[in-house]
Structure 1
Amino acid sequence: MSRARPALTPWLLVSPGALLFLGLIVLPLVLTFILSFHVYDHTTGIKNEFTLAHYAAVVSDDYYLGIFWRTLRLAALTTLICAAVGLPEAYVLSRMRDPWRSVFLLVIIGPLLVSVVVRAFGWSMLLGSTGLVNQLLQALGFGTAKLLYTESAIVIALVHVMLPFMVIPIWTSLQKLDPMVEAAAWSLGASRFTALRRVVMPQVSLGMLSGSLIVFGLSASAFAIPGLLGGRRLKMAATLVYDEYMHELNWPLGAAIAIMVLLANLIIMLAYNRMVEARARRTLG
């Protein structure tokens, strides 16, 4: 009996989290996957029959493929901008001293304390035809720019929302890096840029990997920002699924779209994960 208890202890400790994960994530995904194969009739609703027509319709229709391409493209662009902005920001933050480090860390994570809907409405007012951005462009002589209900507006708002998810993992990786390693590179004649590129970047590649995966996944599944800043015509995957569920009432087609977006995200993220980890292993030995 005394030997059995230690063997069961890990299972007992992880069982609450495992049950929560199964009930809130795995089970809904399984039910959504099963629902995506049901036949839908506009007069009678969902039938207890199975078909592959929904997947075939999504794959063969340029309308759906165009929305998928826009979703993945804007998510990748958001991730790239967040990486370009987040790496220097995290580097500067890691070199700060208290209390400024705490102040600027609060500024970085501040957007997370405000609802996404509130932030989206704020950007809609800033990017509108009478917003502050257009007034500034007019004052600089660039004329009126149509930013609201465009892809640019979606990317701007997504970068603002997702940037903390990129900065925090990179900053955490930088906290584990010995500053003397970078100083040693300087003493051996390397410039600051070379030391950053050859010494710091390989060390924080895994932190950037974590941030990139989080930002890409959240951007590809974003709903509030594309819905409010993209309008009815500029759809992304999440808004398309919402329309199929709530407006068209075609739940099987919406489920099929959701499953295909999930699979596309997983394939891209796993491929990116392998590529970055392989490069990090080659660089760090």
Structure 2
Amino acid sequence: MSQSRRGYLLSTPALLLFGALLVLPLCLTLALSFNVFDYSSGINNHAWTLDHYGALFNDPYFYGIFWRTFWISALVTLLCVCIGVPEAYVLSRMGTPWRSIFLIVILTPLLISVVVRAFGWSLLLGADGLVNQAIQALGGRPVKLLYTPFSVIIALVHVMLPFMIIPVWTSLHKLDPAAEQAALSLGASQATVMRQVVLPQVMPGVLSGTLIVFGLAASSFAIPGLLGGRRLKMVATVVYDQYLSELNWPMGAAIAVALLLANLLIMLSWNRMVEGRFKQSLGD
């Protein structure tokens, strides 16, 4: 048996599991999005229509929901880059045992349910939460923080930050500290070293982190649902409403498929743009 055939044979169980748990549900969701739905008779599995996609693309309400989802996701990604990249750099320069301790601190929130963390932020940002109590103690007036984009953004940054730090930290492990010392010894400033030596080396990690964070933030449900409330809708909460409140499963499936395709388009475009500039900078 050839090496390539043996490799395909060994990977068959993983491919079957991948197909059963991901590809098949996605195909069923896509098929469901074309089914006819009527509130009196429910879903008609034997009739097909494009009305759900027509309603999705012709209703300004859905455009607003998608726009809100993507600008919040983009802002969350930007904040994670601004916070996570310096934090990963500092973490990579720590010695033992502090590096292990801070790495555990960064990863520990991943062991706590997102719902629990969302409730924690609701207690902090509520009308009678600790933040407003501190504002009133300083002589200010209570500020509406809960059920606003601010509460959703700050909670998403808290949840997504480890997914930015770890890829960048992994990339920094491949960077030889002697390269920085050599640049500094040749008269380069610290800012020049960071821009021309460190940053190009960590760009693959930054790219991976941004793709992970943006994708997870755009499809997040628990944080927008609990901290955004009924008025601050995002795409995932609208899909939930269509499935469980309206019982219009085909419409919910159509919205979910549109979110998946839009996510893929944005992420692939971003990946191609960043990789192109990264290769161009290396060529220069």
Same fold (TM over 0.5): yes
Q: Once the two structures are superposed, what CA deviation does each residue of 1:10-34 show, in whole Å capped at 9, x if it has no partner?
A: 0121111111110111111111111
Q: CA deviation at 1:139?
A: 3.0
Task: Provide the secondary structure at the position in 2 that maps to 1:268.
Answer: helix
Q: Once the two structures are superposed, what CA deviation does each residue of 1:173-197 show, in whole Å capped at 9, x if it has no partner?
A: 0000001111122112222122111
Task: Provide TM-score, normalisation by structure 2.
Answer: 0.97
Q: CA deviation at 1:36?
A: 0.5
Q: CA deviation at 1:7?
A: 4.3
Instruction: Give distance in 2, aligned partners of 1:211 and 1:142.
Output: 38
Q: Once the two structures are superposed, what CA deviation does each residue of 1:43-96 show, in whole Å capped at 9, x if it has no partner?
A: 000112111110110111111111111111111110000000001000000000
Q: Once the two structures are superposed, what CA deviation does each residue of 1:171-220 show, in whole Å capped at 9, x if it has no partner?
A: 00000000111112211222212211121111100100000000000000
Q: Once the two structures are superposed, what CA deviation does each residue of 1:259-278 show, in whole Å capped at 9, x if it has no partner?
A: 00000000000000001111
> Residues 170 and 59 of structure 1: is their aligned pair in 2 closer, same or farther, counting only changes over 3 Å?
same
Match of 2:26 in 1: 29
Q: State the identity as a percent.
A: 64
Structure 2 unmatched ranges of 5 or more: none
Task: Pick from 255, 259, 270 the counterpart of residue 261 of structure 1.
Answer: 259
Moved over 6 A (4+): none
Instruction: Give distance in 1, aligned partners of 2:187 and 2:76.
Output: 36
Match of 2:205 in 1: 207
TM-align CA RMSD = 1.0
Task: Provide the secondary structure at the position in 2 that maps to 1:204.
Answer: helix
Which amino acid in 1 is paired with 2:61? Y
Figure out how many residues of one structure are paired with residues of the other and give that number. 282
Which amino acid in 1 is paired with 2:51? A
Task: Pick from 60, 64, 68 the counterpart of residue 66 of structure 1.
Answer: 64
Instruction: Give distance in 2, aligned partners of 1:190 and 1:140.
Output: 46
> Residues 158 and 186 of structure 1: is their aligned pair in 2 closer, same or farther, counting only changes over 3 Å?
same
Instruction: Give distance in 1, aligned partners of 2:165 and 2:183.
Output: 24
Correspondences of 1:1-285 after superposition (within 5 Å) = 4=1, 6-47=3-44, 48-285=46-283
Comparing 75-84 and 195-204, the one that deviates more: 195-204
> Residues 146 and 17 of structure 1: is their aligned pair in 2 closer, same or farther, counting only changes over 3 Å?
same
Instruction: Give distance in 2, aligned partners of 1:46 and 1:185.
Output: 66
Instruction: Give distance in 1, aligned partners of 2:147 and 2:80.
Output: 21
Comparing 156-165 and 132-141, the one that deviates more: 132-141
Task: Provide the secondary structure at the position in 2 that maps to 1:39.
Answer: strand
Which amino acid in 1 is paired with 2:170? T
Structure 1 unmatched ranges of 5 or more: none
Instruction: Give distance in 1, aligned partners of 2:139 and 2:93.
Output: 39
Instruction: Give distance in 2, aligned partners of 1:7 and 1:20.
Output: 20
Which amino acid in 2 is paired with 1:210? S
Q: CA deviation at 1:143?
A: 2.3
Comparing 132-141 and 175-184, the one that deviates more: 132-141
Task: Provide TM-score, normalisation by structure 1.
Answer: 0.97
Instruction: Give distance in 1, aligned partners of 2:140 and 2:161.
Output: 28
Task: Provide the secondary structure at the position in 1 that maps to 2:67.
Answer: helix
